[in-house]
Structure 1
Amino acid sequence: MKIYNHLSEFKRLNNAVATIGTFDGVHFGHQKIINRLCELARSTGGESVILTFFPHPRMIIDPENQDLKMINTIEEKAEILAALGVDHLIITPFTRDFSNLSPSEYIQKILVETIGIKQIIVGYDHRFGKDRSGGMKDLIAFSGPYGYEVEEIGEQDINDVAVSSTKIRESLLCGQVGLAAEYLGYPFSLYGPVIKGDKIGRTIGYPTANIFIEQPYKLIPSDGIYAVTVETDNQAYKAMAYIGQRPTINGMTRNIEVNIFDFDREIYGQYIKMNFHEFLRHDVKFTGLEALKVQLAQDKEDTLKYFAQQH
């Protein structure tokens, strides 16, 4: 898959089969559209193109609101789209100027002149252009003059999946990582470098790797203990993760830590990927490190029990 970080980098195609959207999470509903996109491109000898936006439009239209967090970083999204077989991914900055394009300008300047669409496939509720005033009727109205075809993924097809990026975000913010994985079709993950911590875990027999999330817009699940797998050096390990402020030691900052089972290497500075499989318990304050150690033994047992049940 070729990636372009601006529309200006893209060379117009002769037979582009395109779709447009933020596709946060690239969940089952999105996958329905993307699979159809790739199938259509193959059957017509065309090339599949996805136009997506970064930053997310809501971050530009409502910059004061810092609450919106993304299920995927832009890098994670690109990796998933490549695995689905997309030929071209255009990541264009969503700017004020872009948001002020009228529906007709959007179709002519972006879709026809820049991308070269011969077919466009969108969900029934797709909106575009200034104040989201453009929709299916505009795409159809201009299809004759500009010589492209429109395919709509109907309401029934999309709603059959009964999933949305909003539902997934809500699940993760409640710690329901298992439900989020069902919606996504893959486990939600965090990715980042291992940074130095206080090394308190190793004093009680549960050393942890502290992960730093570099993108401030990346969603972090709710505080608690989770059964996870950790990927590093092309290997996957069972592990238990902790998200929280470490109330037992009166911690002041929110940490993301993971105790990797059967693993004793130093990995400071290395990037690791943590896949969330199951929520185990909420974060609580213990009377001291000894009580915490007893609970961690139980957490490890619960994690191993969870993984044993998956086979």
Structure 2
Amino acid sequence: MQEHRPASAYTNETPSVLTIGTFDGVHIGHRAILNRLVTSAQKEGLQSVLLTFFPHPRMVLQKDTNIQMLNTLSEKKALLEQTGLDHLVIHPFTKQFSRMTAVEYVRDFLVNKLKAKKIIIGYDHRFGRNRTANIVDLKEMGITYGFEVEEISVQELDDVAVSSTKIRKALWEGDVTTANNYLGYPYMITGTVVKGKGIGKTWHYPTANLQPSQEYKLIPKNGVYVTKALMKGEKKYGITSIGTNPTVGGKKRTIETFFLDTEANLYGEGLQLEFLKFIRNEATFETVEKLKDAIKEDETFARKYIAENG
């Protein structure tokens, strides 16, 4: 898969089969559409192209600072790499770009730049200044500018919407099992290991404190999870606590992982953490000793889960 950023960097002259969207999560519903795109392009000897925008249009037009995304851009790119897609075009979404008329967008952008010969798009897709144009307009423009429009059905789009909604709801509830089933892979958080308070180390449970790489990344419900990370090519399992550490008077929400059977110093290193199983809710314990007992129980649960599923 070749990446082009912005769209002007796309210089392939072979006509394309194109789809457009955020594809946040690149979940099983998205993969069905991408498989259709790739198969269609291969069958017709064309290039398969996904056009996506960054930052998310809502961040630009609505100043939505509370948006929670399932993927960072780098995570999304890695997932799309697995789909057989020929080209990923990432174009910056700006207020100026949003003012393009529907005709300018289709003629200059989709046809002249991206060489669209076929566009696979949802029945409810809207585009152009103030999102005034719809799929009927797109089909009419297809006659004028020489491309076919293949409509993604209501049912297929419902599948995508249901998947996206269920994934978010499941993560907010801590149900990573359901989320992972709809994603088709374990939910992940990518970031850098930063210094924490060092309390766990004094209890012989040293933790890696993960700072997510993007503030808009959706963080699952506070609680304790079985997790996995790749360290120097090796899979390492751990117990991850998301929360404020109320027993020791914590206030700030953190993501701390105690890795089983490893004592690696990870400060400053990049880490991708995969969430495998919810263990328990965050709790305030009466004493530190009771917290330590709970951590031992978490470790027992995690080791049993890993032995049965790892």
Q: TM-score, normalised by structure 2?
A: 0.95
**Inter-partner Cα distance in structure 2 for 1:217 and 1:81:** 20
1:57 deviation in Å? 0.7
* Aligned partner of residue 163 in structure 1, secondary structure: helix
Match of 1:56, as an amino acid?
A: H
Partner of 2:255: 256
Deviation at residue 162 of structure 1 after TM alignment: 6.5
Look up the match of 1:300: 299
Question: How far is 1:36 from its partner?
Answer: 0.7
2:278 corresponds to: 279
Q: CA deviation at 1:12?
A: 5.0
Aligned position for 1:56: 56
Task: Classify 1:160/1:4 alpha carbon distance in 2 versus 1 (closer, same or farther; 3 Å).
Answer: closer
Provide closer, same or farther for how the CA distance between residues 232 and 6 of structure 1 changes in structure 2, counting only shifts above 3 A: same
Cα distance per residue 1:97-150 (max 9 Å; x no partner): 222222222211211111110111112222222232222212211111211111
Contiguous gaps of at least 5 residues in structure 2: none
Counterpart in the other structure of 1:189: 188
CA RMSD of aligned residues (A): 1.6
Structure 2 counterparts to residues 85-234 of structure 1, below 5 A = 85-160=84-159, 163-234=162-233
What CA distance in whole angstroms lies between the structure 2 residues aligned with 1:27 and 1:110?
Answer: 27
How far apart are the structure 2 equivalents of 1:22 and 1:164? 14
In structure 2, do the counterparts of structure 1 residues 217 and 160 end up closer, same or farther at CA, with 3 Å as the change threshold? closer
1:288 corresponds to:
287
Give the 3-state SS of the residue equivalent to 1:302 in structure 2: helix
1:131 maps to amino acid: N
Report the residue type matching 1:217 in the other structure: Y
CA contact (8 A) 1:143 1:149 kept: yes
Describe how 1:75-94 pairs up with structure 2 within 5 A: 75-94=74-93
Tell me the SS of whatever aligns to 1:212: strand
When the two structures are superposed, what TM-score results if normalisation uses the length of structure 1?
Answer: 0.95
What is the identity percentage for the equivalent residue pairs of Structure 1 and Structure 2?
A: 43
Tell me, in whole angstroms, the C-alpha distance in 2 between the residues paired with 1:41 and 1:271: 36
User: How far apart are residue 27 of structure 1 and its match?
Assistant: 1.1
Deviation at residue 32 of structure 1 after TM alignment: 1.0
Q: Is the 8 A contact 2:30 2:160 kept in 1?
A: no
The aligned length equals 310
Distance in 1 of aligned mates of 2:146 and 2:287: 71
Structure 1 residue 78: Cα displacement:
0.7
2:162 partner SS: coil
Query: Which amino acid counterpart does residue 253 of structure 1 have in structure 2?
Result: K
Structure 2: how far apart are the matches of 1:244 and 1:187?
20
* Distance in 1 separating the partners of 2:258 and 2:127: 45
